[in-house]
Amino acid sequence: MLVVVVGLSDEVRRVVDAEAADASRAARQSSALAPEARSTVTGHRSGLLGDDAGAAPDLWFRDMTIQRMDHVGVVVDGLVAATAFFVELGREPEGEAPVERRWVDRVVGLNGVRVDIAMMRTPDGHGRIELTKFHTPTAISAEPENAPANTLGIRRIMYAVDDVEDVLERLRTHGAELVGDLQRCEDSHRLCHVRGPEGITVALAERLT
């Protein structure tokens, strides 16, 4: 979270400080509850792009160990191209900043870190991506170029879209290409995987009505 706000406006800093204060209060309130009270959050099972309200809730009770998924970090070599790709998908730029701090070195376990970051949010504001361009040390690749779907690690980010073919056509103007084919998943969705700049793979899902 701190990497996002370095070098950004005072307004953004105030928002982050307020969120941190809220999180601290929530943590104190949670710790004050009895264990049985903290364990009564109704669970549910997530489907392809939604919730399965019919799942047996007693199997999915959880202690609340996290507040939310804040963002996903993606290291890229071409920050401008990657940003344009995600803007075409509908993500909105939230801010850009250079980052070069000793505490960053210690957090990520590298020396002499100097990066540029661009934060992108979804239109609903609930999911963000942090694009990171390393100037030093040089970025490296730990997997083959255009890694296949069975490569270990995080392989894709899935987006729900209104018109999958329209999105495909717009992404192709940024050099994106289908990994496989556009397919129909029963009577539920139309799905495909798309490879964009830097080998970034996203999945697109159009719900069928």
At residue 97, φ and ψ (nearest 5 deg) are: -160, 145
Does residue 137 have a cis peptide bond before it, meaning omega lies within 30 degrees of 0?
yes
- The domains of the chain, with CATH numbers, are 1-32+68-140 (3.10.180.10), 145-209 (3.10.180.10)
Q: Give the pLDDT band of residue 91 (cuts 50, 70, 90).
A: very high
- Reported as a single tens digit per residue, the pLDDT across 143-197 is 788 888 888 888 889 999 999 999 999 999 999 999 999 999 988 999 999 999 9
| Confidence bin at 38 (pLDDT 50/70/90) | very low
Query: Rounded distance, CA 204 to CA 48, Å?
Result: 12
User: Is residue 172 within a helix (H) or strand (E), and if so which, with residue range?
Assistant: helix 164-172
Average pLDDT across the chain, whole number: 78
Q: Is the pLDDT of residue 204 over 90?
A: yes
71-76 and 128-136 as β-strands: parallel, antiparallel, unpaired? parallel
pLDDT at 90: 92
pTM exceeds 0.85, yes or no? no
pLDDT value at position 190?
Answer: 95
Pairwise pLDDT comparison (119 vs 24), residue with the higher score:
119
